[in-house]
Amino acid sequence: MALAETETRKPIPFNVEHLDRLLDEAGIDVLVATSKHNIQYLLGGYRFFFFDSMDAVGVTRYLPALVYRKGKPEQAAYIGCGMESYEQELGKFWPANLDLSVLGSKETMQQALDHIKKLTGVRRVGVESGFMPADGEAVLRQGLSNCDIVDAVFPLERLRACKTPEEIGYLREASERVVASMLATFAQCKPGMTKQEVNETLRREEVNRGLVFDYCLLTAGTSLNRAPSEQRLAPGDIMSLDSGGNYKGYIGDLCRMGILGTAPDAELVDLLGFIEEVQQAARKPVRRGGRGGDVIDVAEAMLDGSPHRKYTHYMAHGMGLVTHEAPRLMNNPRMSYTGYDMDRPLESGMVISIETTMSHPKRGFIKLEDTVLVTDDGYEALGDGGRGWNRAG
């Protein structure tokens, strides 16, 4: 089926001038987006329901692709599979050119290639290297031997860096619902329950609140092992629930603490109190125009001056459709990025996850993770409840 103009189209959902400027700075003439999160962003919230949880089909995979020519959004094309014609009937797509006839990574990239060859003056094509199957990229490289093919993850990340009011609403809902799920899970814990059963309880609570459950890292007692397991809860155990649940694709990622069947002793109160001090201090530099790296430096200085330095770790990173997206506030080799925003000003609409983690050699794992929104005059904490020792059971 050849590319055809759809009869009913939605408005372009992103800032075209901003994307064009970012592509121009990167020297990219044509963008080929293939990740689920960037397809969702560029199509205004669209995720094809059939392949929402798994991409594999037969001997290949579902690979949606949006081809965008810098400065000429009218030449954009979206390539999907045949069942997406149902979504076309509902007016879900804005690109003028649609091909909803293919299924498979090589087939999708062949259609993208055919479309790019119809465009003039194309010298540099940007792809999402980490989200492009090898067989699909081979099709592009063989067919565009006269063009440079470069990574376009960075300009796409900058496009998403400042959230729209709608996105902020989704992140607020995700964060609040994750915390509510954690508090409900703590209430259901009891001695003898396994960590696997705690994990399943949290999963149900998140799903019942309209979230997609991504994961739960959890500890119990003095163990530092965060995997769901057959370890059983005992009276007096401290517990951490660190979970990601997403709402309409946007991630709520927070951590809260509980203690089973008793009150925390003075040392536990002090340890969590110290973590809370670090978390609150790290929020103070969060404001429009504030230096991004200050969110890191303030917390690290507190850890350096404390007796807990050896077993306490601090991190801050951007949040949105992807965890560890812009702003990039620190060098993080483990996540394969550098601190691009360390010496740049924060902007309103950026969303930051702030987390302080203590792996205490005697008392166990103690952590808080919070999500804060950069505003014009400071910050707003999203899902800020349950920050102390929550009585479990």
Q: Which residue has the higher pLDDT, 188 or 1?
A: 188
Same domain, 139 and 247: no
Query: Please, what's the largest Cα pairwise distance for the chain?
Result: 71
AA letter at 356: T
pLDDT of residue 165: 97
Beta strands 77-79; 97-99: pairing state: parallel
Q: Which pLDDT band holds residue 53 (cuts at 50, 70, 90)?
A: confident
Average pLDDT, the chain: 96
Strands (DSSP E) found in 85-147 = 97-99, 124-127
Q: In the predicted model, is pLDDT for residue 187 greater than 90?
A: yes
AA letter at 204: R
Same domain, 191 and 58: no
Strands (DSSP E) found in 84-225 = 97-99, 124-127, 148-151, 212-220
The residue among 104, 135, 160 that closes a domain is: 160
Classify residue 314 by its DSSP letter: E
What's the pLDDT tens digit per position in 69-89?
Answer: 999 999 999 999 999 999 999
The terminus-to-terminus CA distance of the chain in angstroms comes to 59
What's the pLDDT tens digit per position in 277-306?
Answer: 999 999 999 999 999 999 999 999 999 999
pLDDT of residue 283: 98
Distances (CA, A) of 273 to 23, 179, 243, 299, 353: 46, 19, 21, 14, 19
**To the nearest whole percent, how much of the chain has pLDDT over 90?**
96
pLDDT of residue 348: 98
pLDDT of residue 6: 43
Same domain, 334 and 204: yes
What's the pLDDT tens digit per position in 356-375?
Answer: 999 999 999 999 999 999 99
Same domain, 79 and 213: no
pLDDT of residue 5: 46
User: 194 in helix, strand or coil?
Assistant: strand
What's the pLDDT tens digit per position in 213-253?
Answer: 999 999 999 999 999 999 999 999 999 999 999 999 999 99
Range of the domain at 62: 4-160
> Residue range 310-337: average pLDDT?
95
Q: In the predicted model, is pLDDT for residue 199 greater than 50?
A: yes
What's the pLDDT tens digit per position in 336-355?
Answer: 899 999 999 999 999 999 99
Same domain, 147 and 169: no
Q: Are 105 and 51 in contact (CB under 8 A)?
A: no
Lowest mean pLDDT among 1-5, 53-57, 326-330: 1-5
Q: In the predicted model, is pLDDT for residue 314 greater than 80?
A: yes
Burial, 289: exposed, middle or buried (Cβ in 10 Å; 0-12, 13-18, 19+)? exposed
Same domain, 225 and 287: yes
CATH code (residue 148): 3.40.350.10
Q: Which residue from 214, 175, 160 is spatially nearest to 328, judged by alpha carbons?
A: 160
CATH code (residue 343): 3.90.230.10
Same domain, 218 and 312: yes
Count of helices and strands (H, E) across the chain: 10, 17
Classify residue 325 by its DSSP letter: B
Q: How many domains does the chain have?
A: 2
Same domain, 126 and 106: yes
Beta strands 250-260; 389-392: pairing state: parallel
How far apart CA 346 and CA 236 sit, in angstroms, is 42
Threshold 0.85, pTM exceeds: yes
Same domain, 197 and 249: yes
Same domain, 155 and 198: no
pLDDT of residue 8: 57
Same domain, 133 and 174: no
Three-state DSSP string of 349-393: CCEEEEEEEEEECCCEEEEEEEEEEEECCEEEEECCCCCCEEEEC
The set of residues, in sequence order, having a beta carbon less than 8 Å from that of 275 and lying 6+ positions away, is: 312, 356, 358, 366, 367, 368
How far apart CA 269 and CA 262 sit, in angstroms, is 13
Distances (CA, A) of 366 to 170, 178, 302, 311: 28, 18, 17, 11
Same domain, 196 and 67: no
How far apart CA 22 and CA 159 sit, in angstroms, is 8
